[in-house]
Amino acid sequence: MTQRRRGWGKEGSKLRIQGQTIGLVSLLKKLIPFFCNKGNGHSDSTNFDADLTRLSGERILRCWGGGGIETKSPGCTVSEVKEKIQVLLEEYVSGGDLKEACRCVKELGMSFFHHEVVKKSVVRIIEEKEKKERVWKLLKVCFDSGLVTIYQMPKGFKRVGELLEDLSLDVPDAADKFSCCVERAKVDGFLDKSISIK
């Protein structure tokens, strides 16, 4: 019997960990509603689901980004990161310190969310009358250095495409400007020529 267990090696460890995880999830499903609804004395699945969703989202952000080694901070919510991106773009456009802007993008600690940098940059290019070249330079450097990946760049552009109707309220020719942005990104090499973004 002992030899059979030893023979499992890593397989046995994996099974044991999976079993412990399943047990923990089952326990949490029973305990969390009790603690989430302790104040009102009855079970409210809507509140529980909302609390669980919020906590799960925060946990994912803290596991996969929004803090940690690069930032030396405990983590950020999505809205905080969006605000940081907006501020870093405003500071970069006014000051022009490319190195500082790239450092700020890296310090966000959320590489999976860098499409938001692309989105906000392209929106800024569409809305701005001046200093567009500065924003293009930031996008190019972020792409060339790997801060914004080949997957994040088109995702950011696609998200701008989804906003065109709203953007057209403030900038009537937003669709034309966006088409020019897509074409330029293809020429500059940070959008694949085969990608169709509308």
- Distance between CA 147 and CA 193 in Å, rounded? 21
Region for residue 109 given its phi and psi (left: phi exceeds 0; alpha: psi -120 to 50; beta: otherwise): left
pLDDT of residue 192: 85
The count of C-alpha atoms lying within 13 angstroms of the C-alpha of 162, restricted to the half-sphere facing its C-beta, is: 8
Label each residue of the chain as H, E or C. Answer: CHHHHHHHCHHHHHHHHHHHHHHHHHHHHHHHHHHHCCCCCCCCHHHHHHHHHHHHHHHHHHHHCCCCCCCCCCCCCHHHHHHHHHHHHHHHHHHCCHHHHHHHHHHCCCHHHCHHHHHHHHHHHHHCCCCHHHHHHHHHHHHHHCCCCCCHHHHHHHHHHHHHHHHHHHCCCHHHHHHHHHHHHHHHCCCCCCCCCC
Q: Are 133 and 102 in contact (CB under 8 A)?
A: no
- The pair phi, psi for residue 66, each rounded to 5°, is 80, 25
Structure confidence at residue 130 (pLDDT): 82
Tens-level pLDDT at each residue, the chain (198 residues): 444 444 455 555 555 565 566 666 666 666 666 555 544 544 555 666 666 666 665 555 555 555 544 445 556 777 888 899 999 999 999 998 999 999 999 888 888 889 999 999 999 999 988 889 999 999 999 999 999 998 999 999 999 999 999 999 999 999 999 999 999 999 999 888 887 776
Distance between CA atoms of residues 144 and 139, nearest Å? 9
pTM above the 0.75 mark?
no
Euclidean distance between CA atoms 74 and 13, whole angstroms = 31
pLDDT confidence of residue 163: 92
Q: Are 34 and 28 in contact, with CB atoms under 8 Å apart?
A: no
